[in-house]
Amino acid sequence: MAPRTGAEIVVDTLVNAGVKHVFGIVSIHNMPIVDAISRCPDIELITCRNEQSATHMADGYARALGSLGVALGSTGPGTTNMVTGLYEAAYSSSRVLAITGQAETTFYGKGKGYVHEAENQKLMLQTVARTVASPRYIDDLAADLKRVIEAIGSARPQPGAIEIPIDLQYATTNSGALTPDQPAAIAPADSEINVAIDIIRKAGKRVILAGGGITTREASAALQRFAEQIDAPVITSPNGKGGIPADHSLHLGPVLMSRPVLAAVNEADVLIAIGTRFQAGVGGNQIKIPLPPLVHIDVDPRNINLNFTAAAGVVGDAELALNALSAAAFEKGDAQYRERLQTVAADSRAQNRNRIGPDHAAVLDAFAQYMDRDAIFVRDNTIPGYHWGNGLLPINHPRGYIYPTSGAIGPGLPLGIGVAIATDRKTILMHGDGGFMFHVGELATAAQYQAKVIIIIFNDGGFGVLRGLQSNQFEGRFNGTELRTPDFVQLAQSMGVTGMHANDPAELKARLAEAMATAGPVLIELNANNMVPVQGVVPAPSVGSAR
């Protein structure tokens, strides 16, 4: 076997792991890897404008495919930029690998002022990654990279990172690349499954709560079979949207925090929670609610009894656990209770639709007509995302609804570009004007690679979510939430992205139809100040300021 450079071993290993795209920025401390990618026909570098954006793109890519997303950056400042993207990936249980350079081994740790010197880079990465490798010898590189990739996909997925000294990227070895193993799914213990079966059998009134852990096609199918078998309605978390089709008769949607629904749920004999850690939410409100007796299934044992005490805890892969439960015989659940819960949930959704007002309902309907079983919807953290994206937008397949789970403002654009590149399908992205400016430079990336992303910016001239919080907490004073925004249409066009403007929801519907028929990326700026606000949402102080 001909000698291979460290950079070639990295690329060979990524190809062996099934990676087709790498998102990143070239640097003096990763140029050998970039060059090796350019010589490999099986992998493509997507050149981004910021390493944080690159890591968010790798995250969106990973979530859309359920496979490894890879970000490439430089040592020092490039890596510090990547940390925010890794933080979001960790929060979202996403399979993201960060590859970064490092000072050559003869300078590492000596504080000589080597360019981009970052002696504590590994420690920094360890704060946001499950496993971090820092090889010091060329013959360790392949094994270290394999180990990190395998750790990323084990149990509950978490990001990982490897820093590679520049001299190791140039160095050669006769040892070739390795192929990372696919981690085996964790099978639940029979004893835990038997306890859960006994509790479910004795329960007449049953409810299922499905979280992000069921968003694979296999787990989603297993969930649907089990729900039909025991005749239990399914509530989802926002991360679990699409785990059961929105048009399925047992689908209730993300309605647990509705007071009437929660009251009805608490009449149940059992709540079967699958693949959720019961995220605490703002102020911890979501872990202060009362719940009925709980059967909790999760691949991460730390999540069992974390926020709620379980009558039965089952540690294991969602699909395997659901299949094990389905192998048991159950009588159908209480039909009258199920029908009442369905009615309460439908009433809650209807009230929520009425609360968002006619203009937001019209925008919701405009998006909904494209949410078929192959569509993917991405959103940033925005007013419409919170008020009707989570609850009312219909999603009919797993991984069809992606957003910044950590609550971060701004990752929407790079997440959406990553999703569009991963799927090569039209991806609808809902954004606010404030958050959009965090990664605005990635419009050029979307244009360069003709990503099939349709960006709808709700322009209300500021950080609308924070504006509302300030009005409630600081006697109506606004500070730092009002923003000067550019002409987004001209900005998009200057970067090679098709730009459109919609003055109201009717125009948005027409522009959206045009965008769906337009090749490449499209940006639509919607004047949100011309819309009837969601009930209880504070409008911009100077209504009409958006173009």
Convert the pLDDT of each residue in 5-61 to its tens digit: 999 999 999 999 999 999 999 999 999 999 999 999 999 999 999 999 999 999 999
Q: Which of 205-214, 375-384, 456-465, 467-476 has the highest mean pLDDT?
A: 205-214
Question: Are 390 and 449 part of one and the same domain?
Answer: yes
pLDDT at 468 over 80: no
Residue at which a domain ends, from 172, 204, 219: 172
With both helix axes pointing from N to C terminus, report the angle between 6-16 and 31-38 in degrees, rounded to the nearest 10: 50
Assigned domain for 480 exists: yes
Q: Tell me, what CATH number does 203's domain have? A: 3.40.50.1220
Question: Are 36 and 100 part of one and the same domain?
Answer: yes
Assigned domain for 501 exists: yes
Rounded to whole angstroms, what are the CA distances from 53 to 50, 63, 79, 416, 524?
Answer: 5, 15, 12, 11, 21
Question: Are 164 and 223 part of one and the same domain?
Answer: no
Question: Are 130 and 56 part of one and the same domain?
Answer: yes
Question: Are 163 and 205 part of one and the same domain?
Answer: no
Question: Are 276 and 383 part of one and the same domain?
Answer: no
Assigned domain for 105 exists: yes
Residue at which a domain ends, from 142, 172, 202: 172
Strands 270-274 and 294-298: parallel
Contacts of 476 (CB under 8 A, 6+ apart): none
DSSP string over 207-222? EEEE-GGG-SHHHHHH
Domain count, the chain: 3
Assigned domain for 163 exists: yes
Question: Are 205 and 126 part of one and the same domain?
Answer: no
Question: Are 124 and 209 part of one and the same domain?
Answer: no
Question: What's the rounded Cα separation, in Å, for the pair 263 and 546?
Answer: 41
Please, what's the b/e burial string for 325-363 (b: 16 or more CB within 10 A of its CB; e: otherwise)?
A: bbeeebeebbeebbeebbebbeebbeebbeebbebbbbb
Residue at which a domain ends, from 333, 361, 380: 333
| Structural domain span for residue 425 | 353-530
Helices (H) and strands (E) in the chain, counts: 19, 20
At 544, is the pLDDT very low, low, confident or very high (cuts 50, 70, 90)? very low
Q: Tell me, what CATH number does 159's domain have? A: 3.40.50.970
- Which tens digits make up the pLDDT trace of 267-304? 999 999 999 988 766 666 777 788 999 999 999 999 99
Question: Are 68 and 159 part of one and the same domain?
Answer: yes
Between 391 and 283, where is the model more confident? Answer: 391
Question: Are 519 and 388 part of one and the same domain?
Answer: yes
At 225, is the pLDDT very low, low, confident or very high (cuts 50, 70, 90)? very high
Average pLDDT rounded to a whole number, residues 99-115 = 80
Q: In what order do the strands lie in the sheet with 498-502?
A: 401-402, 376-379, 427-432, 453-459, 522-527, 498-502
Assigned domain for 540 exists: no
Average pLDDT rounded to a whole number, residues 77-105 = 95
Question: What's the rounded Cα separation, in Å, for the pair 513 and 465?
Answer: 28
Question: Are 269 and 398 part of one and the same domain?
Answer: no
Assigned domain for 543 exists: no
DSSP 8-state symbol, 131: E
Between 155 and 533, where is the model more confident? Answer: 155
Assigned domain for 348 exists: no
Assigned domain for 542 exists: no
Question: Are 44 and 111 part of one and the same domain?
Answer: yes
